[in-house]
């Protein structure tokens, strides 16, 4: 059977993955075999999320009513029921619902009624607490389909430590990354010298190590020195897979969904207040704004090097009318031509403008020329993929160390075939 749980925490504490880890242990203690523990991330643009829009699914074997009772008791014991935004959902089903609902919750928005319809069709046992919103995530977790999967080892704190500063040896995390990267990722951000895997929120998580197999996350974990954890759980996840992205077309992007879109840079990138960088991306006469926010740090320098005429593919969520960049594929670089007054053939000095439409004049010998000097400027960017640093990466975003999925690469290659007029810079 598949057990789904969601919406148990609040900004003040708790974490659904912790309840999942506790339940895994309670199931085992009660004699139920646990086959897999899964952590799925759903649409990152859902406004009701507490942090990362996670839900969990545990695959187990045993008697369904007993498991349902145990799961509800576990959620009732740990969920933050008093928090106004916490609306837990519990699902236990012998039949795995079709994955459509998972994909809808991952890439779009769903209602409680739609979740209930799926649960009824599957003959599932379910309980929605308070406004029952947690049933959406719990149903999606149970229906989840992970054609691409990664793993996360989550270590949890002992109860007396909750809310206090976490004691995790910084250098041991850098060592863990050194020993196991690129098979693990997002433990630390070397470029920005930041620890990524230790949260700062008052929840029970001590740290989380992400990687491509249980063996790799386990190996990284063995290097980490920290306060003694209460327990550890390895989850199978959809993190780092780009499962939230769908191919999109400028002009048809819908608010709150995440896309990979191809277009031509239509305006020079500009840096706005707060250090956020934006530019216009156009396709067939329609434009969309792309944003690289300040937390994306050095990624903004990549964006700043774009010039009008470059053909790119941009990945990110479409929110407030902008595509918030997670990744950028540079398909084709426009020629960047610098126009300036020519050098005087007689005396070797650079000429100056003789006035609008009057060409150029040498201030030394008086020679004239109509033609400016056109110089091709070296581009400080190569075609290929660029991503935000680990410190700014979304849970679902696929790190480049994992490679690029075939459909994303195909979109990038399709952009290479476009030939564009050279861009002229004054």
Q: What is the DSSP string of 176-218?
A: HHHHHTTTEESSEETTTTEE-SS--SSSSEEEEEEESSHHHHH
Angstrom distance (rounded) from CA 392 to CA 395: 10
Find, among 38, 1, 18, 4, the residue nearest to 126 by Cα. Answer: 4
Q: Which is nearer to ligand ATP, 81 or 109 (CB)?
A: 109
43 forms part of the interface with ligand ATP (CB under 6 A): yes
Angstrom distance (rounded) from CA 110 to CA 424: 47
Cβ(168)–Cβ(224) below 8 Å = yes
CA angle centred on 230, ends 6 and 51, rounded to 5°: 35
For residue 103, what are its two tokens? 């994909």
Task: Tell me how crowded residue 252 is: count the other CB atoms within 10 A of its CB.
Answer: 10
Minimum gap (Å) between residue 326 Cβ and ligand ATP: 18
Q: Which is nearer to ligand ATP, 7 or 387 (CB)?
A: 7
Minimum gap (Å) between residue 66 Cβ and ligand ATP: 25
Among 67, 110, 217, 220, indicate the residue that binds ligand ATP (CB under 6 A).
110
Q: Which is nearer to ligand ATP, 48 or 289 (CB)?
A: 48
Angstrom distance (rounded) from CA 385 to CA 402: 12
109 forms part of the interface with ligand ATP (CB under 6 A): yes
Q: Which stretch binds ligand ATP (CB under 6 A): 42-50, 144-152, 354-362, 417-425?
A: 42-50
Among 11, 51, 130, 301, indicate the residue that binds ligand ATP (CB under 6 A).
51
Angstrom distance (rounded) from CA 178 to CA 191: 13
Minimum gap (Å) between residue 89 Cβ and ligand ATP: 6
Q: Which is nearer to ligand ATP, 54 or 323 (CB)?
A: 54
CA dihedral (311, 315, 316, 320) in degrees, to 10, reads: 20
Q: Which is nearer to ligand ATP, 18 or 360 (CB)?
A: 18
Q: How many residues does the chain have?
A: 426
Among 2, 3, 4, 16, indicate the residue that binds ligand ATP (CB under 6 A).
16
48 forms part of the interface with ligand ATP (CB under 6 A): yes
For residue 420, what are its two tokens? 């564009």
For residue 54, what are its two tokens? 């996670």
Q: Which stretch binds ligand ATP (CB under 6 A): 2-10, 219-227, 268-276, 297-305?
A: 2-10
Minimum gap (Å) between residue 223 Cβ and ligand ATP: 27
Residues 399-418 that bind ligand ATP (CB under 6 A): none
Among 11, 13, 34, 46, indicate the residue that binds ligand ATP (CB under 6 A).
46
Task: Tell me how crowded residue 340 is: count the other CB atoms within 10 A of its CB.
Answer: 14
Residue with tokens 């309980």: 127
Q: Which is nearer to ligand ATP, 238 or 278 (CB)?
A: 238
Q: Which is nearer to ligand ATP, 43 or 264 (CB)?
A: 43
15 forms part of the interface with ligand ATP (CB under 6 A): yes
Q: Which stretch binds ligand ATP (CB under 6 A): 8-16, 64-72, 155-163, 262-270?
A: 8-16
Contacts with ligand ATP by CB under 6 A: the residue count is: 25
Q: Which stretch binds ligand ATP (CB under 6 A): 104-112, 145-153, 240-248, 364-372?
A: 104-112
Q: Which is nearer to ligand ATP, 43 or 238 (CB)?
A: 43
136 forms part of the interface with ligand ATP (CB under 6 A): yes
Cβ(325)–Cβ(299) below 8 Å = yes
Residue 412 CA to its chain's centroid (Å): 19
Angstrom distance (rounded) from CA 182 to CA 264: 32
Residues 311-370 that bind ligand ATP (CB under 6 A): none
Q: Which stretch binds ligand ATP (CB under 6 A): 5-13, 63-71, 235-243, 373-381?
A: 5-13
> What string marks each residue from 66 to 95 as x (binds ligand ATP by CB under 6 A) or -?
---------------------x--------
For residue 47, what are its two tokens? 């406004």
Q: Largest Cα–Cα distance of the chain, in whole Å?
A: 99
Cβ(33)–Cβ(73) below 8 Å = no
Q: Which stretch binds ligand ATP (CB under 6 A): 20-28, 131-139, 193-201, 377-385?
A: 131-139
How many Cα atoms sit within 13 Å of 180 on the Cβ side?
28
Cβ(39)–Cβ(56) below 8 Å = yes
Binding site for ligand ATP (CB under 6 A): 6-9, 15-16, 42-43, 46, 48-55, 87, 105, 109-110, 133-134, 136-137
């Amino acid at each position: 059977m598949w057990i789904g749980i969601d919406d148990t925490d609040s900004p003040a504490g708790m974490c659904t993955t912790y309840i999942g880890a506790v339940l895994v242990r309670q199931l085992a203690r009660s004699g139920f075999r646990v086959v897999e523990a899964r952590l799925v991330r759903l649409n990152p643009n859902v406004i009701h999320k507490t942090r990362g829009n996670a839900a969990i699914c545990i695959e187990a074997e045993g008697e369904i009513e007993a498991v349902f009772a145990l799961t509800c008791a576990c959620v009732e014991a740990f969920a933050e029921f008093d928090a106004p935004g916490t609306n837990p959902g519990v699902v236990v089903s012998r039949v795995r619902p079709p994955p459509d609902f998972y994909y809808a919750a991952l890439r779009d928005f769903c209602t409680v009624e739609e979740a209930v319809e799926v649960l009824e069709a599957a003959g599932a046992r379910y309980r929605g607490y308070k406004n029952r919103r947690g049933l959406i995530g719990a149903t999606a977790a149970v229906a989840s389909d992970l054609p691409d999967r990664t793993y996360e080892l989550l270590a949890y704190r002992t109860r007396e430590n909750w809310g206090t500063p976490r004691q995790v040896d910084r250098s041991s995390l850098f060592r863990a990354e050194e020993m196991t990267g690129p098979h693990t990722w997002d433990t630390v951000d070397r470029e920005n010298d930041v620890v990524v895997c230790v949260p700062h929120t008052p929840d029970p998580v001590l740290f989380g190590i992400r990687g491509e197999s249980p063996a790799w996350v386990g190996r990284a974990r063995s290097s980490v020195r920290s306060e003694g954890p209460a327990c550890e759980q390895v989850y199978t996840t959809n993190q780092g897979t780009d499962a939230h992205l769908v191919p999109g077309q400028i002009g048809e992007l819908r608010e709150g969904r995440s896309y990979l879109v191809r277009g031509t840079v239509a305006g020079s990138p500009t840096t706005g207040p707060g250090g956020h960088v934006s530019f216009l991306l156009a396709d067939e006469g329609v434009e969309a704004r792309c944003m690289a926010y300040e937390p994306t740090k050095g990624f903004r320098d990549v964006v700043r090097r774009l010039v009008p005429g470059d053909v790119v593919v941009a990945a990110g969520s479409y929110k407030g009318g902008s595509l918030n960049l997670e990744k950028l594929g540079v398909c084709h670089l426009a020629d960047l031509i610098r126009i300036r007054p020519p050098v005087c053939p007689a005396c070797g000095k650079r000429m100056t403008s003789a006035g609008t439409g009057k060409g150029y004049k040498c201030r030394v010998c008086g020679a004239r020329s109509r033609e400016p000097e056109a110089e091709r400027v070296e581009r400080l960017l190569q075609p290929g993929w660029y991503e935000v640093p680990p410190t700014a990466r979304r849970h679902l975003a696929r790190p480049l160390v994992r490679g690029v999925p075939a459909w994303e690469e195909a979109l990038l290659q399709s952009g290479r075939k476009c030939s564009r007029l050279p861009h002229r810079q004054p």
